[in-house]
Amino acid sequence: MHANWSGTPILPDRFVLEIVSGSVKAGEHDFPILSQAPDNVYVVAGKRNVETLTLEYYGATDGSGTWRWTYDGLPGHATGTLIRRR
């Protein structure tokens, strides 16, 4: 993870991310889903104009690509990769 926080970090260095009905849970933080693509290959969650958590899949349709996440908000900015578990 690469992060630049201006205060208390919203997300820890390592956390479990889970997509549940209507929201994304990232560590102890809960983000309401704003938009998502089929199979969750792209998900935008958060509060408009306050903070967003974006999850994106980059790569081939065979699943050999990379999952990435980005957090943007007043507390700072962070980005990292995901290991998807089913």
Q: Whole-model pTM?
A: 0.86
Supply 51's token pair: 């903070």
DSSP count for the chain of H helices, then E strands: 0, 8
What count of other Cβ atoms lies within 10 Å of the Cβ of residue 28?
A: 9
pLDDT (tens place) for every residue of the chain, 86 residues total = 899 999 889 999 889 999 988 999 998 999 999 999 988 889 999 998 899 999 998 877 776 788 899 999 988 999 999 887 76
Measured distance CA(49)–CA(18) in Å, rounded: 23
What residue type is 43 in one-letter code?
Answer: V
